[in-house]
Structure formats: structure tokens, C-alpha cells
């Protein structure tokens, strides 16, 4: 077991991904998991979810505060960095706040990890970092560059840094399914920004396992990209409109679906890998690996070279509506 008797810090450990990482690692009998986040109520909720456990340590702090991050990393082996400002519209209207958390915060994580001789750090990014049209994507792209260039700037340090790039995580806090379900239960129309939108979607289990696997196999500076299905937002909205009344015993009459227009910075499609990245990438059955330009020459067992091309939700064949329905019901998202 990779994490047996190890000390792990989960930054953003009360978020959707962070919590699930904690729950996955606990059975491996680590020495301690330190949960670092700035929201004491979410830490209180997590304590109640996992019951009392002597292996869990709860730290209040913000990645904007370098001294607190440095202190949280003391004597740790591995770091999962999942904290972020991630809502596109909030990052648009509060751009410098997103810079402080997503860029300066990540820089603080890198500095502290090198100072504390952490073995490995994995940073969670987003498909919105590719060809960004919004501030959230731009800040995550900058953070990715900081992580990959840490291989170049770490000197004699031994810390290994890597990035995982996600699509949308089904059912995560702030995702559209809980919003759509809430609107139906309140008797309102489902509001969709644009019915032509396509998105990469992954389950919480996939996101968690990708993050843990990436930390385990990383060699320095890579970006790991899970191969994931594409769904049409129109299909997702229709499924929620059809299934929510059945589950909650509501009026079975049709639910209206209303287009409200794209939010500032929102795209109709997303990209997970650029054409240029594909030229240097490696491919495994479930994941692409884009090496750092600052750490050439690394190879990966059983990896091949992918066909060059942009990995875009616009260019992929989406799941059928019934496949989306099956996935949504299997994940108990309604």
C-alpha cells in the first residue's frame, strides 16, 4: 500500500475532491492525513462524516498565507493541492482574488514544498486552462506553468511536482446537476446558458483515482489527463427534468427548459489537450501524459504516442442521452 505509514497533506481537504481523496487514502493506514482548508464549518461537517479518527488532523488556513502553508507541510511526505477559486463567473467579477488564490496560492505551495522537502505534490487543474476565455482558466493555466517549471527551478531539491487536468466532476459542489434538481423541486424552469454546450464529464471516483494514481507514477512536471466522455448539456437538462419528478413524487407535467445566454467568459465547448501538447504526449489506456518541457527524457511503462490532435469536447462523439441517463442514475445524482 503506497500510503501506509506516510504523512499526507490535503490542501482544500473539505472540497468535493479533497474529501474523497481523504476517504480513499484512510484505509491504507497512513500515519496521518492533515486536512487544510479555510472553512471551519466544512471541517466540522467532515469530522461528523468520517467520525472521530486519530489519523486525521484538521488545520484552518489559506493558501494565500505562505507561513501557514509552510507550517502545514512540516514533516509531510505527500501533498494534494485541490484548493481553488473555481466558479467562472466569480473569477470574472473578482479577477484579482482568483489570482491571489489560484496563482499566488499555488506558488506558495511550491515554495513551501521545496522548503519542507516534500516527496511529491500533485496539483488539480481544469480543462478551462486550455485556450482560456475566462479568468478562472487563465489563472489555472498560470498555475500549471508554475508546477511544470518547478522542475526547472527546484535546484538540488528532490520534490516531484505534477498536475492533473479535470473535466467537470459529476455532482461536485457547484456543478449543474444539483442546481437543475433544486430548480425542478422548487417548481421552477431549468435554466441553461446554452443548449449547444458540450462538456467533458467524469465521476468523482474517476477524478479521485486519477489524482492518486498521478501522484504515484509522476516523475516530475507532467500533466495527467483522464480520457473521459463528452455529454451534451441539453441531454443532461432533459434527463433531470424527466427523472426528478419521478424520484420526489412531484407533478409529472413537463418541466420547462429555458436558455438564458452564456455567462461572461463561458465557452460552448472545452479542450483538455492542445495539438502542440499531443505532439509530445504519451498515452496509456485511461490517461494522456504531457511531459514538462523543463524535464525532457522521462518515459512511462507501456505508454505509446497518441495520434496528434486537439482533445476537444466539440470534436468527440458525445454519449447518447440514454448513456447519460444511465450514468446519472448509477451515480445517484438526482
Decide if 264 is inside a domain: no
Decide if 254 is inside a domain: no
Decide if 239 is inside a domain: no
DSSP string, 51-97: ---TTEEEEE--TT-HHHHHHHTTT-SEEEE------HHHHHHSHHH
Decide if 84 is inside a domain: yes
Decide if 296 is inside a domain: yes
Say what the pTM is.
0.90
Residue 265: its pLDDT value, please?
82
DSSP string, 135-171: HHHHHHHHHHHHHHHHHHH-TT---EEEEEEE-EETT
Residue 202: its pLDDT value, please?
86
Which residues are identified as catalytic? 128
Nearest-5° Cα angle at 168, 163 to 174? 110
Beta carbons of 169 and 203 less than 8 angstroms apart = yes
Grid coordinates standing for 262? 452564456
Decide if 179 is inside a domain: no
Decide if 331 is inside a domain: no
Residue 293: its pLDDT value, please?
83
Residue 174: its pLDDT value, please?
65
| Blockwise average pLDDT, block size 10, the chain, 334 residues | 95 93 94 95 89 89 98 97 92 96 98 96 94 94 94 83 90 78 91 92 89 92 91 92 87 87 87 92 91 78 88 90 90 82
Of 206, 255, 243, which Cα lies nearest the Cα of 226?
Answer: 206
Residue 50: its pLDDT value, please?
83
Q: How far apart are CA 268 and CA 148, in angstroms?
A: 28
Q: Give the domain CATH number at 149.
A: 3.40.50.720
**Nearest-10 crossing angle of helices 321-330, 233-248:** 50
Of 43, 33, 22, 103, which Cα lies nearest the Cα of 72?
Answer: 33
Beta carbons of 14 and 35 less than 8 angstroms apart = yes
Decide if 242 is inside a domain: no
Residue 68 domain boundaries: 7-169+201-227+271-312
Split into its structural domains, the chain has a count of 1
Amino acid at each position: 500500500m503506497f500510503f501506509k505509514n506516510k504523512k499526507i497533506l490535503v490542501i482544500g481537504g473539505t472540497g468535493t475532491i479533497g474529501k474523497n481523496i481523504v476517504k480513499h487514502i484512510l484505509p491504507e493506514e497512513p500515519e496521518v492525513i492533515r486536512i487544510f482548508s479555510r472553512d471551519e464549518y466544512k471541517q466540522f461537517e467532515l469530522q461528523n462524516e468520517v467520525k472521530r479518527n486519530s489519523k486525521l488532523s484538521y488545520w484552518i488556513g489559506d493558501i494565500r498565507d505562505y507561513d501557514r502553508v509552510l507550517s502545514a507541510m512540516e514533516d509531510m511526505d505527500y501533498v494534494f493541492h485541490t484548493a481553488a477559486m473555481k466558479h467562472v463567473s466569480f473569477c470574472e467579477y473578482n479577477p484579482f482574488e482568483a489570482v491571489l488564490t489560484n496563482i499566488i496560492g499555488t506558488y506558495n505551495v511550491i515554495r513551501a514544498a521545496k522548503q519542507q522537502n516534500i516527496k511529491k505534490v500533485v496539483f488539480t487543474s481544469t480543462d478551462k486552462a486550455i485556450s482560456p476565455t475566462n479568468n478562472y482558466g487563465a489563472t489555472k493555466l498560470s498555475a500549471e506553468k508554475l508546477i511544470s517549471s518547478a522542475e526547472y527551478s527546484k535546484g538540488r531539491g528532490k520534490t516531484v511536482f505534477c498536475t492533473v487536468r479535470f473535466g467537470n466532476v459529476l455532482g461536485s459542489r457547484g456543478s449543474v446537476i444539483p442546481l437543475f434538481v433544486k430548480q425542478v423541486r422548487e417548481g421552477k424552469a431549468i435554466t441553461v446558458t446554452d443548449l449547444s454546450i458540450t462538456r467533458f464529464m467524469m465521476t468523482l471516483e474517476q477524478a479521485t483515482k486519477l489524482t492518486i494514481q498521478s501522484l504515484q507514477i509522476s516523475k516530475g512536471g507532467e500533466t495527467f489527463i483522464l480520457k473521459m466522455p463528452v455529454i451534451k448539456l441539453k441531454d443532461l437538462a432533459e434527463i433531470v427534468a424527466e427523472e426528478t419528478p419521478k424520484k420526489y413524487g412531484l407533478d409529472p407535467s413537463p418541466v420547462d427548459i429555458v436558455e438564458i445566454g452564456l455567462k461572461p467568459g463561458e465557452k460552448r465547448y472545452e479542450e483538455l489537450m492542445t495539438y502542440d501538447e499531443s505532439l509530445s504526449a504519451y498515452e496509456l489506456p485511461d490517461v494522456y501524459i504531457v511531459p514538462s518541457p523543463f524535464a525532457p527524457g522521462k518515459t512511462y511503462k507501456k505508454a505509446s504516442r497518441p495520434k496528434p490532435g486537439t482533445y476537444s469536447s466539440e470534436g468527440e462523439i458525445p454519449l447518447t442521452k440514454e448513456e447519460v441517463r444511465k450514468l446519472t442514475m448509477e451515480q445517484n445524482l438526482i
